[in-house]
Amino acid sequence: KAGVTQTPRYLIKTRGQQVTLSCSPISGHRSVSWYQQTPGQGLQFLFEYFSETQRNKGNFPGRFSGRQFSNSRSEMNVSTLELGDSALYLCASSLGSYTGELFFGEGSRLTVL
Amino acid sequence: GEDVEQSLFLSVREGDSSVINCTYTDSSSTYLYWYKQEPGAGLQLLTYIFSNMDMKQDQRLTVLLNKKDKHLSLRIADTQTGDSAIYFCAETNAGKSTFGDGTTLTVKP
């Protein structure tokens, strides 16, 4: 069974640009969550999508947005990038049954210059 | 809001037992998890415990839960150099997971 796939793995952007990250969950998983990981802030929850609907949301500004498609694939977008957005963005999929058992991808490492 | 705290670093000798501790605040957490992150990789689920359990053993891993004190621990028996990684404790309630900052385990040969 294929795991969670995130693309791209690495990317470099400049301040003010926008970026779109993609996540393909494990087949059959309907929930996709996104996390931001930085050395200073640890693992911060961004949002969770289940069956194309945002079910949970963390405390991030509106520049961070996401969506989920009918095949459960998800994208997150960050607009007007800031230096502080440099981080590892992790996607996790689950069956969505509220058990919290998450399967993580390897992440997309974003560097903002 | 929910909060999960862990000590940041732990160093042990190969063959010793490692104990990683975690405290959480959400008394309505239904599931508590331990994840492992190796360099350059995402998090990997190690084990979990339901909130109505006190202990769970899974090969070299033992999870202890003290629900009264909201304290969770992960014991790794016979720690190996391959166990060197960052270990995250997480609580889950209504589908939302809150993670600790992670404990970096260093295993010295």
Is residue A39 scored above 90 in pLDDT? Answer: no
Mutation target for B interface from A7, A26, A43, A104: give the one with most B CBs within 10 A.
A43
Please answer yes or no on whether B97 and A107 come within 8 Å at the CB atom: no
Residue contacts between A and B (CB atoms, under 8 Å): 64
What's residue B74's pLDDT? 97
| pLDDT per residue as tens digits for the range A66-99 | 999 999 999 999 999 999 999 999 999 988 766 6
| pLDDT per residue as tens digits for the range B3-25 | 899 989 999 999 999 999 999 98
CA B32 to chain centre: 9
Q: What does DSSP say about strands A108-112 and A10-13: parallel, antiparallel, or unpaired?
A: parallel
Distances in Å between the Cα of B47 and the Cα atoms of A21, B22, B72 are: 29, 14, 12
Please answer yes or no on whether B97 and A102 come within 8 Å at the CB atom: yes
| pLDDT per residue as tens digits for the range B71-82 | 999 999 999 999
Contact criterion met (CB below 8 Å) for A87 and A13 = no
What's residue A95's pLDDT? 83
Number of alpha carbons in the 13 Å side-chain half-sphere of residue B2 = 24
| pLDDT per residue as tens digits for the range A12-30 | 999 999 999 999 999 999 9
DSSP bridge pairs for A13: A112
Q: Which of chain A's residues have a Cβ under 8 Å away from the Cβ of B45?
A: 101-103
> Which residue do the tokens 């492992």 mark?
B36
